[in-house]
Amino acid sequence: MAVLASGNGTNLQALLDDPVVRPWIVLVLSDQPEAHALERARARDVEAVVLAPAFHPDRTAYDRALREQLEQRGIEYVLLAGFMRIVGPDVVRAYAGRILNVHPALLPSFPGTHAVADALAWGVKVTGVTVHLVDEELDHGPIVLQEAVAVRPDDDWDSLESRIHEVEHRLFPAAARALAEGRLKVEGRAVHILEGTDD
Amino acid sequence: MAVLASGNGTNLQALLDDPVVRPWIVLVLSDQPEAHALERARARDVEAVVLAPAFHPDRTAYDRALREQLEQRGIEYVLLAGFMRIVGPDVVRAYAGRILNVHPALLPSFPGTHAVADALAWGVKVTGVTVHLVDEELDHGPIVLQEAVAVRPDDDWDSLESRIHEVEHRLFPAAARALAEGRLKVEGRAVHILEGTDD
């Protein structure tokens, strides 16, 4: 498994702290040389690689380089843990049904990069977290897990995002476990999770 | 308060069964002469009126007639309880901030008349119920209450709709109470519910 992350890497940390998922993770890759996620990887003896967009002429070239990084290490599964780039069609096709993303809203509500702010601006009383398989449309693939998070009357962006993160840190490792153990059964847009020995 | 309903009227029944809301309801209006909602009204000594679209040349004329029916009875608040017509701009403007609708999904996900089927087709793991103030855009106005409903692996349309209805029958009367008691404070898209003596 490779984990792709651009920032602080709290979702990566939750994956590294999961005893079932941890042994699967052999690579952490970031587009940001300063991403704290890279240090989290090194601290757990996981290879940390920077793939900087500046060294690639366009998205297609970046996507091809990303695919090479993954394939030359025999990566089977890809986990997007706050990777702030759109993974291109070359990688999505090569890893169809094997890329997970975590999104801070109940998709199809609030796709895109400002999901928490958008939910607050809309005035919803319930938002949440979605873990989904990645397809070629943004924040669109078959849903593996969702969990609701209530918006409180006094919530601001910080307080709401913090409660959403807590749920992400539980849901994403659970979905990664199911993916690694071959327990995801996808039929069209329906994802069934077969029960695992540790559930 | 007037309750507008087109069908069986289970949401109307939940409103009639609420001791705080019941005394407010002075009219049940349907576009369908055969709507069971009309009988539910008569059984509780509430005036039941049919406003059949066939007797009006177009939507504008229907909307005007609807507004007349409401205004000649001094109706202050309108509750859409499964009314399968779009309430036109004439009524929406006259009753701005005073019309509630109940929708069987967590808006902005799955607007429209097939919300439960759409949620199943998308493969979401969480859907729910929204009670919102009505504005001139379909299923769009400020949200008063929302509650999540988990989709189960073996759910079909009947089983999921049945659990959604249970939540509607709790949420819609609660929102109607707050509306009638002047406890809804709307700021842009944010709706705050002030605490009531019975809550």
Backbone angles phi, psi at A47, to 5 degrees: -60, 135
The residue range of the domain holding A24 is 2-193
Does residue A199 belong to any structural domain of this protein? Answer: no
Q: How far apart are CA B151 and CA A146, in angstroms?
A: 10
User: Would B170 be classed as within a structural domain?
Assistant: yes
Cα-to-chain-centroid distance, residue B138:
13
Smallest Cα distance from A131 to chain B, Å: 10
Residue pLDDT tens, chain B, 199 long:
999 999 999 999 999 999 999 999 999 999 999 999 999 999 999 999 999 999 999 999 999 999 999 999 999 999 999 999 989 999 999 999 999 999 999 999 999 999 999 999 999 999 999 999 999 998 999 999 999 999 999 999 999 999 999 999 999 999 999 999 999 999 999 999 998 765 4
Label each residue of A30-95 as H, E or C: ECCCCCHHHHHHHHCCCEEEECCHHHCCCHHHHHHHHHHHHHCCCCCCEEECCCCCCCCHHHHHHC
CB distance A63 to A40 below 8 Å: no
A interface mutation test: which of B103, B125, B145 has the most A CBs within 10 A?
Answer: B125
Interface probe with B: pick from A124, A140, A164, most Cβ of B within 10 Å: A124
**What is the residue whose two structure tokens read 């005893």?**
A19
Any idea what the Cα angle at residue B178 is, between residues B174 and B181, rounded to 5°?
135
ipTM over 0.95: no
Q: Does any domain span residue B199?
A: no
Q: What are phi and psi of A32, to 5 degrees?
A: -115, 115
In this prediction, residue A198 has a pLDDT band, given cuts at 50, 70 and 90, of: low
* CA A198 to centroid of chain Cα atoms: 22
Query: How many CA atoms lie within 13 Å of B122's alpha carbon, on the beta-carbon side?
Result: 25
What is the predicted pLDDT for the residue at B198? 55
Q: Do A147 and B128 touch (CB under 8 A)?
A: no
* Pairing, β A47-50 against β B2-4: unpaired
Cβ distance of A123 and B109 shorter than 8 Å:
no
Size of interface A-B (CB pairs under 8 A): 63
Q: What is the pLDDT of residue A32?
A: 96
At B184 the pLDDT is: 96
Tokens representing A154 are 């006094």
* Contacts B124 to A, Cβ<8 Å: 106-108, 143, 146
Give B-chain residues touching A146 at CB under 8 angstroms: 124-126
| Distance (Å, whole) CA B167 – CA B164 | 5
Residue B181 placed within a domain? yes
Q: Which two tokens stand for residue B195?
A: 């605490």
Mean pLDDT of A146-171: 98
Residue B142 lies in a domain: yes
Between A138 and B103, name the one with better pLDDT. Answer: B103
* Residue A80 placed within a domain: yes
- For residue B198, being part of any structural domain is answered with no
Task: Report the chain B residue with the minimal C-alpha distance to residue A122.
Answer: B189
Report the CATH number at residue A81. Answer: 3.40.50.170
Min Cα separation A156/chain B (Å): 12
Residue B172 to chain A, least CA–CA distance (Å): 15
pLDDT of the residue at B185:
96
The domain tally of chain A equals 1
Q: Report the alpha-carbon angle B27-B31-B33, nearest 5.
A: 90
Percent above pLDDT 90 for chain A: 96
Whether residue B83 is contained in a domain is answered as: yes
